[in-house]
Amino acid sequence: MTFSVLMVCTGNICRSPMAEGLLLHLLPETLKPVVAVQSAGTHGLHGNRAEPHAVKAAAAHGADISQHRARALDSGMVRSADLVLAMEKYHIDIINDLLFFRCKYALLLGTFAANRENPEIEDPYGLPFGAYESCAGEIVACLPGLIDHIRRQVDMKAS
């Protein structure tokens, strides 16, 4: 039994690869054998590497995303995931359009951060490194709540 998480952003070269790498890095060892994490972009720049600033920002938190290659989101990816985490509301609209109905397991990643007013995680693309650093920090702030959610889902799926 594997619990599949799909991170979604626009180009799959900044936010979603950072989220994928950071979650994989911070996932407890007990969950690593049963949780698969991938990422894709609604307008994925298929085959492109992660932005150098994204690689550096993720590395500052211990995650290596230097081998990442962008993928374009498709309906099969959404259907095969147990949890789809988008960075912005319009990503969820695109996910819903791919399935022709509301995807009940598509959520905004930012909803997992405690005391966060805006659940959207802004795109740092084209901005200075500080924007990527800030974005990575926002993603990391979401991960304790997300990991708790994943743990509960894995336990429910196993029983």
pLDDT tens digits, residue range 20-36? 999 999 999 999 999 99
pTM of the model: 0.96
117: pLDDT strictly greater than 80? yes
Look up 142 and say whether it is catalytic.
no
Q: pLDDT class for 158, splitting at 50, 70, 90?
A: confident
Look up 74 and say whether it is catalytic.
no
Q: pLDDT class for 101, splitting at 50, 70, 90?
A: confident
* Active-site entry in 14, 15, 71, 142: 15
Distance CA 48, CA 56 (A): 16
The domain ranges of the chain are 3-158
Distance CA 82, CA 151 (A): 13
Contact between 65 and 22 under an 8 Å Cβ cutoff? The reply is no
Q: What is the CATH number of domain 3-158?
A: 3.40.50.2300
64: which residues sit within 8 A by CB, 6+ positions away? Answer: 21, 25, 58
